[in-house]
Amino acid sequence: RRPLRTRPLGERLCSAEEATAGSGTYTRHGFIFSSLAGCLEKRGEESGLPVVSVVRDAESQLLPDVGAVVTCKVCSINSRFAKVHILYVGSTPLKSTFRGTIRREDIRATEKDKVEVYKSFRPGDIVLAKVISLGDAQSNYLLSTAENELGVVVARSEAGVQMVPISWCEMQCPRTHTKDFRKVARVQPQFLQT
């Protein structure tokens, strides 16, 4: 169980008139909210309003942040987006999975109108993506694979064999030699999961 003093992500902390938003918080509609799970800290400032911050305790969950590169697994796809579970932030495994969505327009940087989700991802694929906006309790993290380094890093063929990338948009099964379309990541060494 989480200790009572830990504030969940997205909790409304106080009115923006009572305090200034410090680290780990954001202001919206005149209120200050926590942008991460952690402990509330209120620091008095001589200049007037106290500063409210939320500090992550060592035990608390690491959360995906905007701009973070995450490793995720594709759960389902349709014509408009792919649903994924976020497994790692950078190289740190998450204690619990977060849901994410990669919209059709965020798959590729060029010719966005010609992108087809089923030619980019398949359920079970392991994908490197970047967080472009934070989710809240109801919605998912929005992710993008529009950079060359982002996209599918591990995919299995119908024969159950790990496929080999042969171009930025195709992977091939080494056993059957069948080719499949994917949005392939040009993987940088620091993102390779061992």
Per-residue pLDDT tens digits of the chain, which is 194 residues long: 344 456 677 788 888 888 988 888 888 889 998 887 778 888 887 668 888 888 776 545 567 888 889 999 999 999 999 999 999 888 888 877 789 999 999 999 888 888 999 999 999 999 999 999 886 544 589 999 999 999 999 999 988 999 999 999 999 999 999 999 999 998 655 445 43
* Residue 4, token pair as written in the block: 């009572």
Q: 104 — phi, psi (to 5°)? A: -55, -40
Please report whether residue 29 resides in a domain.
Answer: yes
Q: 169: which strand partners?
A: none
Compute the radius of gyration of the chain from its Cα atoms: 20
Based on the domain organization, do 178 and 130 belong to the same domain? yes
Can you give the pTM of this predicted structure?
0.66
* Residue 62, token pair as written in the block: 């690491």
Please report whether residue 117 resides in a domain.
Answer: yes
Please report whether residue 175 resides in a domain.
Answer: yes
Considering its fold, how many domains does the chain have in total?
A: 2
For the domain that residue 87 is a member of, what is the CATH number? 2.40.50.140
Domain that residue 80 falls in: 68-191
What is d(CA 163, CA 165) in angstroms, rounded to the nearest whole number? 7
What is d(CA 104, CA 107) in angstroms, rounded to the nearest whole number? 6
Please report whether residue 23 resides in a domain.
Answer: yes
Please report whether residue 11 resides in a domain.
Answer: yes
The SS3 assignment for 15 reads strand
- For the chain, the distance separating the N- and C-terminal CA atoms, rounded to the nearest angstrom, is 31
